Structure 1
Amino acid sequence: MDTADAAPRAAAPARSTRRRVYASTMIGNVVEYYDFTLYGTLAAVLAKLFFPSGDGLVALFSTYVGVSLSYFIRPLGAVLLGPLADRRGRRGVLILTLSLMSVGTAGIGLLPTYAAIGAAAPVLLLLSRVLQGLGASVEYTTAAQFLLEHEPGSRRRNYLAGLMNATCSVGSLLGSGVAFVLTVVMPTATFDSWGWRIPFLLAIPMAFIGFYIRNRLDETPEFEQMKRQVDAVEAKQTPLRDAVRLYWRDMLKAIGLGAGQRIGSYTIQAYLVTALISAGFPTSLALLASMLTYAVGPLPSVWGGVLADRYGARLPLLVGYGLFMALTVPTFMAIGSSSIVLATLAVVVFTVLNNLVAAPLNVACVLSFPPEVRSSAAALNFNVGTSLIGSTAGLVAVWLHDLTGSDVSFGWYMTAACAVSALVAVFALPEAVDYREPDWASGNIGTAVVGESDHGRPAR
């Protein structure tokens, strides 16, 4: 793109502002993944507390319905909150998402159990999961926009996206770590009685920290520039309609590209612990293996971003998905073995591969769209893919395990999804689009100019 035609870019933020921006996006990711990992980690405990105890499989399956429900509600959250971020700003929506997630998580810690109020207990549990899902629906994509739009024209955007993904591992590590410590130091009867509530209630102080940081930040320069143009000509914004009308192909590409990683992320956050316990390993060792995966997760997240910035997105995507196809089935074979060392090594390798591809996926999800529709388009493609592909993984895994008696069949299911994503990476990799400033007066919005720079990096 001719630089003479390019819209003026805001200057890079000052170091103090950059630190606050980083902290504001990271605290939200920590809270989101703390919440979701905690629920998945304690799924076996919650199944006994909130559902009838007659059939353990049905209770566990019902608990995972709660996980899936929180994902199924996400497209609705994307439709409601994505356009709000495009019209009113990213910062206000980030405060709202943190509120919803925190209320949902703390609410679980305050709920009476099935033994106390009967059938109302699982209903209230699922309602809490709905609140978590609504909050999480646009938290990650809006936080990514907030970070990247504060660094306009940055040539390290994949690195920044990888850094964001790394904080997801921090939240998951914190959630599984708190659960592990409590299960070790508390007698089982005490933990099952009331100790399980503690990790959920810890979401309250974490939320207050997030509110403090986010309330001290300004809106992103790109959003403010776009909003000034809209206000100057009194144009009517219809970001959701325009995103679907103009960018549906890019959204479908992003969904296909992330299919394998969506299943992988869900498996790490909510199913690996259950799979290890079902294979006969003690709960404490299963939690310890899970914690190890989160501890090693940040490094490949950042490394994948660095590789994508230097050599283009296809390199980490094809390496990651290629190894996933080769190693996913052996991973679940190792989980079914009698060796905790082999099983732990397998899930650590699984996590490294999953995080390696995260950064370019996040950039494709968010920056493939111009600012006037970015929140709507990113939220929609991310949440449709997560809901339809990622959130159903636990239900498929439980069903396949009951059908075959092994998790290897689920490994083949994920291998097929990774093959689809690899094909998208080869033949239809979404290009992050640069854009010319929209002509609001004529209604010509969303006009994009796709450019490709050296090493396959989209030009900015």
Structure 2
Amino acid sequence: MSGKSEKELPFSVTPKDVRNVAIASSIGTFIDFYVFILAGTASGTIWPALYFQQVSKIPGVAVALSFLSFGAAYVVRPVGGIIFGHFGDKMGRMSTLVSTLIVIFIGTIGMALVPPYSVLGILAPALLILFRIIQGLGFGGEWGGASTWLIEYVAKPEKRGFWSGILGASAWVGIGSAAVSFGVLYLLFPTQFIMNLGWRILFGIGAIAAIVGGIIRARLRESPIFINYISKRRPAKLPSLEIFKAYGGRILHAAAAYFLGVSVTGVVITPFTLQYLIASGKHILLGIPTPAFVLLMLGIGAYFTIISAALGGWASDKLGRRMIIVISSIGVGALTYPYFLLIGTLNPYAIMAALILIQVFQGLSVGSIGAYFVELFPTKYRYSGSGLSFQFAGFYLGVTTAFLIPPLIAGIPITHAVNIIAGVQIAIALVSLISVLFLKETKGIQLED
């Protein structure tokens, strides 16, 4: 578990302890990616009509504004990483992770309850964006703390990648659950129900999961490495700010290395693919409405990716953390244009293959990154460092979806924007590939406290 023997730790860690912390950590990751797909889907199919169409009649502007609301959460995530990283490195991983879920609950339930523009006028989209920002602040403190708490519990360095893969796989359980849930809504219920109530129910489920997760976390123990650390040393005064001086470059490189891991689903699949197929006039695929088909295929692809994320974590214990990210980056970059060619055929089986393949390669990096980011930083700054690395990747995504893509595609029919979206995704893959080469390999290192 650390450079010290297990007897020197404040308590003995059993395999059951590790499993329990893995479950508690994974709940937040599940909610994070579950809401990610819900918001991505809603921003492409529901929010433009419900909140933004009345703001501007110019073609594409409502969708661009909806993208802005989706990306807003990612722009503020680093702020959440700074706030919760501060408390996580000063007061403890577990107690801080309970707090993140409380904030996530407030943002998620708020989004579920915001009335449409027709009821509140301009206040409606403003509130939607506000609650999305609150949600983003909570999620900003979630992933770094969850991965730190879990990986600090793992006794054997050669098992950290495996448990990181489990945490990464929970992200795809969230993606699959959200996609299938939305797909079933489109399959079984009329559009009016989905627009008025259906999507709100799905967000409400996420809010309930946050409360349940907080209760489970509060019943478990603090990381033994952190307990050891604070028993012998004074925590940093402002850890989440001091870390920029000590490891600022490492954070930015790590975030860029993982940019790919958050971008595929955020840029290519949701919300672009669904909008593209609808705009192409393909309203029925395999006998079911196109939104339901795409979401169900995204869900099926996500369940394949659960395996690839777990495999990516396990393989990182054998091949190294960097190698898995390199493989993932090359795979996604090489598949991006073929992905759009397959989508452009409007053939349901080709679309299915495209969705599954690109997600599987994305999942490899998601599985390995938890252990990698935790190992890159010392205990003194670990919650802040791993969290900010992850959240700056989300920040890059937020800037891309909120500020780069909208002006590039505004006023352009979505069916003509393929080359722009593909070019952005390939550029992201190259950024991740190059950035990871600037980071050291951490496989097998000791987590010194």
Instruction: Provide the TM-score with structure 2 as the length reference.
Output: 0.89
Unpaired runs of 5+ residues, structure 1, are: 433-455
Unpaired runs of 5+ residues, structure 2, are: 283-289
Which 4+ stretches in 1 moved above 6 angstroms?
A: none
Q: CA deviation at 1:55?
A: 4.2
Q: Find the counterpart in structure 2 of residue 48 from structure 1.
A: 49
Q: Find the counterpart in structure 1 of residue 375 from structure 2.
A: 367
**Cα distance in 1 for residues equivalent to 2:35 and 2:176:** 11
Q: Which of 305, 308, 330 is 1:300 aligned to? A: 308
Q: CA deviation at 1:70?
A: 0.6
Q: Which of 319, 325, 339 is 2:327 aligned to? A: 319
Counterparts in 2 of 1:323-338, with a 5 A limit?
A: 323-338=331-346
1:112 aligns with 2:120: no
Residues 367-376 or 400-409, more deviating: 400-409
**Cα distance in 1 for residues equivalent to 2:5 and 2:271:** 44
8 Å CA contact 2:162, 2:317 repeated in 1? yes
Q: Find the counterpart in structure 2 of residue 277 from structure 1.
A: 278
Deviations 1:376-414 (A, max 9, x none): 222222222321245524654455455581323321222
Change (3 A) 1:175 1:225: same
**Cα distance in 2 for residues equivalent to 1:246 and 1:166:** 31
Q: Find the counterpart in structure 2 of residue 131 from structure 1.
A: 134
Q: Find the counterpart in structure 2 of residue 310 from structure 1.
A: 318
Counterparts in 2 of 1:393-404, with a 5 A limit?
A: 393=401, 396-401=404-409, 403=412
Residues 263-272 or 41-50, more deviating: 263-272
Q: CA deviation at 1:325?
A: 2.3
**Cα distance in 2 for residues equivalent to 1:16 and 1:360:** 22
Q: Which of 94, 99, 103 is 2:102 aligned to? A: 99
8 Å CA contact 2:101, 2:211 repeated in 1? no
Identity between Structure 1 and Structure 2 (%): 25
Change (3 A) 1:378 1:236: closer
1:429 aligns with 2:439: yes
Q: Find the counterpart in structure 1 of residue 394 from structure 2.
A: 386
Residues 261-270 or 145-154, more deviating: 261-270
Q: CA deviation at 1:279?
A: 3.9
Q: CA deviation at 1:418?
A: 1.5
Deviations 1:182-202 (A, max 9, x none): 222222223223333211222
Q: Find the counterpart in structure 2 of residue 33 from structure 1.
A: 33
Q: CA deviation at 1:129?
A: 0.1
Residues 133-142 or 180-189, more deviating: 180-189
Q: Find the counterpart in structure 1 of residue 359 from structure 2.
A: 351
Q: Which of 150, 155, 174 is 2:153 aligned to? A: 150
Q: Find the counterpart in structure 1 of residue 242 from structure 2.
A: 242
- The size of the alignment, in residue pairs, is 430
**Cα distance in 1 for residues equivalent to 2:372 and 2:259:** 13
Change (3 A) 1:204 1:385: closer
**Cα distance in 1 for residues equivalent to 2:158 and 2:330:** 26
**Cα distance in 1 for residues equivalent to 2:142 and 2:307:** 22
Q: Find the counterpart in structure 2 of residue 416 from structure 1.
A: 427
Q: CA deviation at 1:256?
A: 2.8
CA RMSD of aligned residues (A): 2.4
**Cα distance in 2 for residues equivalent to 1:256 and 1:14:** 35
Change (3 A) 1:278 1:97: farther
**Cα distance in 2 for residues equivalent to 1:340 and 1:146:** 42
**Cα distance in 1 for residues equivalent to 2:361 and 2:311:** 11
8 Å CA contact 2:164, 2:367 repeated in 1? yes
**Cα distance in 2 for residues equivalent to 1:385 and 1:192:** 31
Deviations 1:312-351 (A, max 9, x none): 2243223222222221111122222221221221121110
**Cα distance in 2 for residues equivalent to 1:191 and 1:218:** 41
Secondary structure in structure 2 of the residue aligned to 1:325: helix
Q: Which amino acid letter does the alignment assign opposite residue 432 of structure 2?
A: S
Secondary structure in structure 1 of the residue aligned to 2:440: coil
Deviations 1:195-216 (A, max 9, x none): 3321122224322321221111
Instruction: Provide the TM-score with structure 1 as the length reference.
Output: 0.87
Secondary structure in structure 2 of the residue aligned to 1:321: helix
**Cα distance in 2 for residues equivalent to 1:203 and 1:420:** 32
Whose RCO is larger (CA < 8 A, sep 6+)? 2
Q: Find the counterpart in structure 1 of residue 285 from structure 2.
A: none
